[in-house]
């Protein structure tokens, strides 16, 4: 008898030869923005999205207290019995934080993007999506059934041309973009995009996943940083990066949130997240409000590291953030460099297709408030040796 799954082994072998196969690891101890323990070895961690250094310890007491009151599992979807008082309190706090009328919690940022897009557009509609948007946005676009125009990365002129030529025939138009791109570290040109959305009567949805807590005077993200919040209709964020917890959210008008509550399948048909996670989210918002020095110090350290890398001749592209790529090119070379750094005690992930396009494999440096100057100096020294 033939094995109907035999093709999988062949495909994995091919991926292995191309340097594209991934393998799971398991860390021990807490996920820390500065340190990481894997298989009995400790690393300086430049792979975490724990940008404000909150994940390891800062939120634990709030979670323990909530567990004593609420237990763990939510038991059902939010519309049945899964939504608790802490869920509701976090949604109100997120709306206040974002300066919007309402907010809705999702089980992840991925679910928030897929749920929002598929609820807002469908057949007969047209989506304008940045070429380097996150996979969750791409999948939401595909699942919606709407026509999709992928405009070149951060290309305002290309977006305008597409809106002019294709937009008028669509029932609804949705522009969707990351604000801080997770691999390249650059910022979307939101000032121009908000103007285009208004001019062409398009809904504008932004994903602030990597910017929430980091950018803006109050930590709301790139839209606040660029002072264009009033031109944004749908804001997506996550609790799992700078906010140190887990889950995603959408904020906007009350009408938008009421619509998503009824029509976002990723919300309606998912069991609610444990209520203790909402307690962690509430605590993290307090840290963002009360300790702005975390994001200020992070952005200052990021700017200093970017300057140092440029002075040493590394290609880091247009990054303006705490996410700093070093472009390598071939997947095999990127993974070899990552392994050599790992042997030296530095966890700097190598990123390869399909996370990035062919020929654009890179080392992704992710800075955290938890990194000390000595850690960053060690990174620079090892990069000089490896590259």
State the burial class of residue 13 (Cβ atoms within 10 Å of its Cβ: 0-12, 13-18, 19+): exposed
Which tokens is 59 given?
């939120």
* Neighbouring-strand partners of residue 251: 103, 235
- Whether the bond into 354 is cis, omega within 30 of 0: yes
Which tokens is 3 given?
């094995």
* Neighbouring-strand partners of residue 187: 180
Name the helix (H) or strand (E) containing 338: helix 331-343
Residue 90: closest CA among 210, 270, 245: 245
Q: At what angle do helices 60-70 and 275-290 cross, to 10 degrees?
A: 150
Residues assigned a catalytic role: 182, 210, 241
Q: State how far Cα 269 lies from the chain centre.
A: 23
Cα gap 294→38, rounded to integer Å: 27
Which tokens is 322 given?
């705490």
Instruction: Specify whether the CB–CB gap between 220 and 249 falls below 8 A.
Output: no
DSSP state of 80: I
Q: Residue 183, SS3?
A: coil
- 62-65-67 Cα angle (round to 5): 105
Instruction: Specify whether the CB–CB gap between 281 and 90 falls below 8 A.
Output: yes
């Amino acid at each position: 008898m033939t094995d109907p799954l035999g093709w999988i082994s062949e495909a994995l072998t091919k991926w292995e030869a191309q340097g594209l196969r991934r393998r799971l690891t398991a860390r021990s101890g807490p996920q820390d923005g500065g340190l990481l323990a894997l298989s009995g070895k400790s690393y300086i961690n430049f792979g975490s999205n724990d940008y404000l250094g909150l994940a390891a310890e800062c939120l634990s007491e709030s979670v323990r207290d909530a567990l004593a009151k609420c237990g763990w599992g939510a038991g059902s979807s939010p519309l049945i019995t899964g939504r608790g008082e802490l869920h509701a309190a976090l949604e109100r706090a997120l709306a206040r934080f974002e300066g919007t009328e309402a907010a809705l919690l999702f089980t992840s940022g991925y679910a928030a993007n897929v749920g929002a897009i598929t609820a807002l557009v469908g057949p007969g509609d047209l989506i304008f999506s940045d070429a380097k948007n996150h996979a969750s946005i791409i999948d939401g676009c595909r699942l919606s059934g709407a026509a999709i125009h992928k405009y070149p990365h951060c290309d305002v002129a290309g977006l305008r041309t597409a809106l002019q030529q294709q937009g008028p025939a669509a029932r609804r138009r949705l522009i969707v973009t990351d604000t801080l791109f997770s691999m390249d570290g650059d910022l979307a040109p939101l000032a121009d995009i908000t103007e285009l959305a208004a001019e062409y009567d398009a809904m504008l949805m932004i994903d602030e996943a990597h910017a929430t807590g980091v950018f803006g005077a109050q930590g709301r993200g790139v839209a606040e940083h660029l002072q264009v919040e009033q031109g944004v209709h749908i804001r997506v964020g996550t609790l799992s990066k700078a906010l140190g917890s887990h889950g995603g959210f959408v904020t906007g008008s009350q009408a938008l949130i009421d619509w998503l509550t009824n029509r976002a399948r990723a919300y309606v048909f998912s069991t609610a997240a444990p209520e203790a996670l909402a307690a962690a989210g509430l605590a993290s918002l307090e840290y963002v409000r009360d300790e702005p020095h975390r994001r200020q110090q992070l952005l200052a350290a990021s700017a200093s590291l970017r300057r140092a890398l440029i002075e040493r001749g590394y290609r880091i592209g247009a990054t303006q953030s705490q996410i700093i790529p070093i472009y390598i090119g071939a997947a095999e070379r990127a993974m070899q460099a990552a392994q050599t750094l790992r042997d030296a005690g530095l966890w700097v992930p190598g990123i390869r297709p399909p996370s990035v396009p062919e020929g654009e494999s890179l080392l992704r440096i992710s800075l955290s408030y938890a990194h000390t100057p000595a850690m960053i100096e060690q990174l620079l020294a090892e990069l000089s040796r490896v590259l």
